[in-house]
Amino acid sequence: MIVEITQNPMELKPPRTGEHRYAVAIRAGANLWLTLWVRRSPKGEFFVMVPRTERDWTPHASYHLDGTHHMKSYGHPSFPRKRQPLTGLFKGTENLCCFAGHATNLATCDAALFDGVLEVSSDVLGPKHGTVCVDLVEPGCQPVMALSAHSIVRRETFTTTVPHVVITIYSSDETRGIRQDGESGGGVKQDEKRLLKLGLFWAAILAGFWLSVSVIHRRVYTAAAIAIWSVFLYVVFYRDAQRRNPK
């Protein structure tokens, strides 16, 4: 089935009194396209909406006052959970959702309709790359890493409501990412670092074994060669990892 992509299938009205909105938008030339937005209702409930070409699709996540949290698509709720209620003192952090599969040409973003807009380029978010995660956090807290095998490209904290709304954009591309202090920089993904450490560990075990055997059998030249090879592994692999992922 071919779905025709139409301009602005979703028209947003100005926010009501007590309502707060936060958007993620993709910049494509002179156009700014809405790809996800968070709504905090006047009652204090949170909703994460994603524009789609099919009007009946309307995928979104909901977090209600009593702590009921669920996803909904085509009007059918799924993954219901009970989280901490929003009627009392909010503690720690709660993940609202993570959405991948982002496209332009679905809905234009009018920045005047939102409290804040997190703007990125199309090479950060697209149909097959980039994921947006939304978290509710206690003031002064940071959300839990939702996608540990990915790098953080952008993170924005919106403080006009309590709990605060944190929007994080993840990428599996190691050339993107930010350091823990928020500054832009390269980084090795968490899974690559684990594989690197595992490889170095087994290389060290094998080198140590053959070094011991060579010393026992008085094979001086073999022992020296293994020692030099171990130093080479350290310099090439470990130092390269430190260079690509500075502290």
pLDDT score for 5: 32
For 177-192, write each residue's pLDDT tens digit: 543 333 333 333 444 5
Q: Which residue has the tokens 């799924």?
A: 78
Give me 125's structure tokens.
């978010």
Q: Which two tokens stand for residue 154?
A: 């952008």
Q: What's the whole-number mean pLDDT along residues 105-118?
A: 94
pLDDT digits (tens, 9 = 90+) for 16-41: 999 999 999 999 999 999 999 999 99
CA distance 130 to 107: 18
CA distances (Å), origin 73, targets 77, 78, 184, 214, 226: 7, 8, 35, 65, 60
Tens digit of each residue's pLDDT (9 = 90 or more) over 62-73:
999 999 999 887
Q: How far apart, in Å, do the first and last CA atoms of the chain sit?
A: 50
What's the pTM value of the predicted model, to 2 decimals? 0.67
The backbone torsions φ and ψ at residue 106, rounded to the nearest 5 degrees and listed phi first, read: -100, -45
Residues 40 and 234: their CA atoms lie apart, in Å, by: 51
Please state whether beta strands 116-121 and 20-28 pair in parallel, antiparallel, or not at all (unpaired).
parallel
